[in-house]
Amino acid sequence: MTWQGLSTGRFANTRGYLVLAVGATTAGGAPAANCDSVTPQLAGNAAQLAGNAFQVRQAQRDVAVVPVIDGPLTLDPATTNIARMNADSLTNVAGALTVTNATQEILARYATDAATTTRITVWSTGSHRGTHTVDIYNDNQQRTSGNFALAEDELSWFDPGAMESRPTGYTDGYIVWNPGVVAASGGATGTASLAGSTGSVFVYSTIEASAFGAAQTLLGAHR
């Protein structure tokens, strides 16, 4: 299936994400025999979906993988109608990092120079808005401190090349972020509620090199 076909153009040029789940007539029950249930609820963990996603850029003749995170879902309340979920319904995805303390780390790759650009996408089940302080490493394992700002609650992105605190010589390396540390307010952004929420978060980097005329995505690691 294609998102372009399913969305019928209503969400053209709009950033967002899809949540796919197996439905049941009762929460935690066996998968429903059809999709006609009036209030479909989340089936038990034994019924799971898996898949892959790709972004096709026809003009550039390029295809990039869009990371898919799988694993059992947690909804609040557990009896949520999965056809009518809102921004607060999904509270955890087992395949992503579950935020439980301030020492957990997410590592995201970056490469930025005259011919290469990086955009780092952040997704979470809570609000991660705000300015975050991170460690920035170059390809020689040298470290410095920097900040990046996220303006949206659950799906945001930032340009590591635009981080004012990044030294000009840091053109290839990785960023280490502690998502369990409450973000500082910054301008119109607020204080993140992701910290201490036991919610989920993951990041991925989209790196585009003009020399190759292609974009690649790299899923961030967590520990």
Last residue of a domain, one of 43, 69, 95: 95
Query: Which amino acid, residue 68?
Result: V
Whether residue 91 is found in the same domain as residue 108: no
- The three-state (H, E, C) secondary structure of 131-155, written as one string: EEEEEEEECCCCEEEEEEEECCCCE
Whether residue 79 is found in the same domain as residue 110: no
Whether residue 87 is found in the same domain as residue 112: no
Whether residue 124 is found in the same domain as residue 168: yes
108-152 per-position pLDDT tens digit: 999 998 889 999 999 999 888 888 999 999 999 999 999 999 988
Domain of residue 47 covers 1-95
- pTM of the entire structure? 0.88
Whether residue 120 is found in the same domain as residue 186: yes
Whether residue 80 is found in the same domain as residue 127: no
Structure token pair of residue 19? 């949540």
* pLDDT confidence of residue 191: 43
Residue 61 to residues 14, 38, 212, 213, 215, Cα–Cα distance (Å): 22, 42, 12, 9, 11
Domains held by the chain: number: 2
Tell whether omega for the bond before 77 is within 30 degrees of 0, i.e. cis: yes
* Strand extents, DSSP E, the chain: 23-24, 41-42, 53-57, 62-66, 73-75, 90-93, 97-98, 106-111, 116-124, 130-138, 143-150, 155-158, 172-177, 200-209, 214-219, 221-222
- Count CB-CB contacts under 10 A for residue 169: 10
140-198 per-position pLDDT tens digit: 999 999 999 998 889 999 999 999 889 989 999 999 999 988 776 543 333 446 776 78
Report DSSP state, residue 88: T
Whether residue 26 is found in the same domain as residue 1: yes
206 vs 165, higher pLDDT? 206
Residues in the chain: 223
Whether residue 2 is found in the same domain as residue 55: yes
